[in-house]
Structure 1
Amino acid sequence: MPNGNLRSPTDSLGGQFPLLLGSSATSNLADGIVKVALPLIAVQWTDSPVLVGGILAASTLPWLLFALPAGLLVDALDRRRAMMLANLLRASALALASISILVGEHSLWMLYATAFVLGSAETVHDTAAQSLLPSVVAPAALERANGRLSTAEVTTNGFAGPPLGGLLISVSAVLGVVIPAGLWIVALLALFALSVTPQARPVGPLRWRHELLGGIRFAWANTVLRTMAGMVALCNLATSAFLGSFVVYAVGPNSVLGATAFQYGLLMALAGVGSVLGALGAAKAASVMGRGRLLALSLLGMASFIGAPSIVPALSALTVTFLIGGAAVAVWNVVTVSFRQRITPDALLGRVNAIYRLLTWGTIPVGALLGGSIGSLVGLTELFALAAGAAIVSLVGLRWVNESSMAENELRA
C-alpha cells in the first residue's frame, strides 16, 4: 500500500514527485540520445538499410516478447527497485558497448545485442514507472502528474535527446554511448532517493501462468477497460499505417507534397509540440468539459491528423493537423492512463499496464506493414482516408467509455 505521508488527500503532487519526474526526464534523455546514436554508429560500419534498420527492430522486439512478463515482474517485485535495476542494466550494456568500440570491435551484432538489452530493460522500467506513480501522488493529482511526466518525456526523448545524440556521435562514437550510460546512473540515483512504501508482494511461489491470466481477466472483465483496449489498438493501427507510409507521400521531388527532409522533420517536431501542449492542458480541459467529451475530441483530432492529407494535400495545412494530432494523442494518454491507475488494484497494476503497452507498441509494426501493403494496392491517399475512417470507428467505444461510466468505476475502486 502507498505510504500515507506521501499522498495528500488534495491534488498536490507531493514532495516525492520531483524525484520521480527528474529520474524520468534523465532516463528519457538517455533514451533519446541512444535511439539516434546506435543507428549513426551502425552507418559508419555498413551502408545497408536493412542492417541499419535492424537496430530499431532489435530495440522494439522486446515489447512484443516481454511486455506481459514484464508486467508480472513489476507486480511481484518492488517497483522502485525494478526501475533501478533496469537503469543499471542499461548503463552496463552501454558500458560494454563502449569498451567494444574502444578496442576496435566494429560488430553490428554487438549493436543489435545492445539495442535488444536496452529494449528489454525498457519494458520493465516503463511498466514499473507507470505502476509506481499512484504510490507517489494523490489520486486527484494523477492527470497533472501524468501530464508532467508526458511533457518531460516528449521534451527530453523527442526534442533534446536526438540532436544531442547526433552531436555526440559527430565528436566520438564512444561519447554517444558513454554519456547516456552516465545519465541512466543519474536516473538510478534519483530513484534511490525516492521514498515510497513497496506494494504488497505475492505470498509463496509465483505461479506465472495463473498470475498473468489474473491481470488479463481483470482488464477483460471491466467494460470500460476492455473497450479502451480495443479503441487503443484500433487507433494505433490506423496511426501506424499512416505514419509508416507518410514519408513516401511527403518527401522528395516526386512525392505528392514535394517536401524536403527538413520540412518533414519540422512536421514531426510540430507533433511533438502538440504533445507537450496536450499533456500540460489535459487535466484542466478534463475538469472543464468532462473526460468523455475530451476523449471524443481527442479521437476526432487523431482522425483529422491521419485523414487530412487525403483531403488537403498541402504542407501548410498539415502543419496545423500535425500539431492537433500530437495534442490529441497526449490528451488521450493522460486521461486514460490516469483512469486506469485509479481503478486497478495495486497488486494488478503492472500486468494491466503491460497489456496496454503491448497493444500500444505491438500494433506499431503490424500497422506499418498493413499500411504499406494497402497503400501499394489502392494508393496512399486512399490509405490515409481508410485509416482515418478506422480512427473514427473507435468513437463507437464512447458508448461505454464516458464520464458517467468512468466515475462509477472510480467510486467502486
Structure 2
Amino acid sequence: MPLRRNRPFAFFWTAQLLSNAGTQISELAIPLIAVLALSAGPAEMGVLTALESLPSLVLALFLGVYVDRLRRGRLLFWANIGQGVLIATVPIAAAFGWLTMGQLYVVTFAVGSLALAYGLAQTAYVPVLVTDQRRLTAANSSMALTDSITAVAGPGLGGVLVQLLTAPIAIAVDAASFFVAALLQALGRGPDPRPIQQQSRFGTSLREGFTAFRAQPGIVAITAGKGCADFFHWGALALFVLYAVRELGLSPAAIGAIAVLGSLGPLLAGVLTTPVSRRFGTAGPAVVAAALFGGGLLTPFAAGPDLVLIAIIGLGQFLLGLGIVYLIIIRATLLQRTVDPALLGRVGAVIRLVEWGTGPVGGLFGGFLGATLGLRPALIVLGIGTLAAVPWLVVAAARGHLND
C-alpha cells in the first residue's frame, strides 16, 4: 500500500507534524524566556540544556524495557497528553509571576522523559503501521520530513510569537499542539498489537537489548560516532542563544530566522536520503554526513550586519542538520530491518543512552567552557569536537558495515 493511502500512518504522520511544530517553538522560547525574563547566565543555561538530555542517561534503559512490554500506540497517546500538561504549566506560572528557573528545570526534565519514551515507542511503532519492509526507508524519510518541515516553520513562528506576544504565549501554543496530536492519533485508529509476553527478568531483558545492539556493527558505528559528536553539540546548544543575544545582539526573530535556514538541512535530508541511498549506497554518503557536523564552526566565526550573521550561521546549521538527519534515517532503516521487533524498544534505549546520555555532561561542559574561556572561544572548541564522529564512520564504511 502506498504511504499516502495508509490511513493510520497518515494520521500518525500529521499528529507528529503538529506536535513537532509546537516543540520547535518551545525549544526556542524556553531558552529565550530563561535569558530575557530570568537573566540566566552560562552556568544556568548549561544546567537547563543538561536536564533536557538527562533522561536518556538515567531512564533510557528502564524505559526501553517497558516500551517492549506495553502497547506502543497507547504509550504514544499518553506521552503526548503528559507533555502538553507539563508545558502548559510554564505560561500559567508566568502569567501569575511565579515562574522560576527551578520550574523550568523540572519541566524540562519531565518533558524530556516523556519525549524519550515517545521516541523509543515511535521507532518501534512505524513497522507496525508500515508492514512492507520495502517502504520502511520511505516511511522513515517521511518521519524525518515531519521533523524537518516543523523545524522550518516552528522556529520562525516561535521567534515571531516571542517578539510579538512574549515567550509564554509561544510556549502555550506548544502545549496545545500536543493535545491536538493526541486527538489525531486516536482518530487514526492505527493497529496497536499487544506485545509478546516476556517472562525474562528486568536484567535479562536489558542484556538482550545490549546483545542485539552489539550484533549490528553499522548501527554501533553510527551511534558511537554520533554520541561523541553530540557531547560537544549539546555544549554548543547550551551557549548558542546566550551568544546570539549577548555577543551578536540578535533579536528573537533573527534567531528564529537562523533556525529556519538551518532546518532546511534536515528537510533536504528527508527528501534526498532514499534516492541518494539507491544511487550511491549508504557508506560513502554516511562519511560525508559525519563531516558536515563541522558546520557548527561557522557560528563563532560569523561577523557583519545582522543579515550576514543570519546567512552565515544559518548555513552552518543547515550543514549540521543535513548530516545529522541523514545518519538518523539510515540508522532507523538498518534498525528496523535487522533487529527483532520485540527488541526494538530496548535497542533504541541503548542508542539513546549512548547518544543523548552524553548531553548532561556536554551541556554542563559547554556552560563551564563559556564561563571560563568566554562564549566565542568555547564555541570554537565545541565546534571542532563535533568532528569526532568522522573516524567512526570512516572505519565502519571501510569494513562494509554501513551497507544497507
Bin of the TM-score, shorter chain as denominator length: 0.7 to 0.9
Distance 2:105 2:342 in 1: 34
Q: Secondary structure at the match of 1:16?
A: helix
How far did residue 187 of structure 1 move? 0.8
- 1:291 — aligned with what? 282
How far did residue 174 of structure 1 move? 6.0
- 1:24 — aligned with what? 16
- Are residue 142 (structure 1) and residue 140 (structure 2) matched? no
Q: How does 1:21-100 map to 2 (within 5 A)?
A: 21-42=13-34, 46-49=38-41, 54-97=47-90, 100=93
The question of whether the paired residues in 2 share the 8 Å contact of 1:306 and 1:387 is answered with: no
How far did residue 320 of structure 1 move? 5.0
Q: Deviations over 1:181-223 (max 9, x none)?
A: 322111111221232142523245x722221221112112333
What's the RMSD between the two structures over aligned residues? 3.9
User: If you compute each CA radius of gyration, which structure gives the higher value, 1 or 2?
Assistant: 1
- 1:338 — aligned with what? 333
The question of whether the paired residues in 1 share the 8 Å contact of 2:50 and 2:359 is answered with: no
The question of whether the paired residues in 2 share the 8 Å contact of 1:74 and 1:351 is answered with: yes
State TM-score, norm by structure 1: 0.78
Distance 1:246 1:95 in 2: 25
- 1:223 — aligned with what? 217
Distance 1:306 1:271 in 2: 10
Q: How does 1:153-302 map to 2 (within 5 A)?
A: 153-157=147-151, 159-161=153-155, 163-164=157-158, 167=161, 170-171=164-165, 175-192=169-186, 193-204=188-199, 207-237=201-231, 239-240=233-234, 267-302=258-293
State TM-score, norm by structure 2: 0.80
Change (3 A) 1:319 1:108: closer
Q: Deviations over 1:340-384 (max 9, x none)?
A: 12111111101111221222222234445556659949x669737
- 2:102 — aligned with what? 109
How far did residue 21 of structure 1 move? 0.6
Distance 1:52 1:373 in 2: 12
- 1:357 — aligned with what? 352
Higher relative contact order (CA 8 A, sep 6+): 2
- 2:126 — aligned with what? 133
- 2:395 — aligned with what? 396
Change (3 A) 1:59 1:308: closer
One-letter code of the match for 1:132? Answer: Y
Distance 2:382 2:168 in 1: 41
Distance 1:123 1:140 in 2: 27
Change (3 A) 1:209 1:275: same
Structure 1 regions of 5+ residues with no counterpart? 1-7, 407-413
How far did residue 57 of structure 1 move? 4.0
Q: Deviations over 1:136-169 (max 9, x none)?
A: 1122222222222122213324532563376168
Change (3 A) 1:393 1:147: same
The question of whether the paired residues in 2 share the 8 Å contact of 1:34 and 1:165 is answered with: no
Change (3 A) 1:71 1:400: farther
Distance 2:159 2:379 in 1: 34
Count of residue correspondences: 391
How far did residue 68 of structure 1 move? 1.9
One-letter code of the match for 2:395? Answer: V
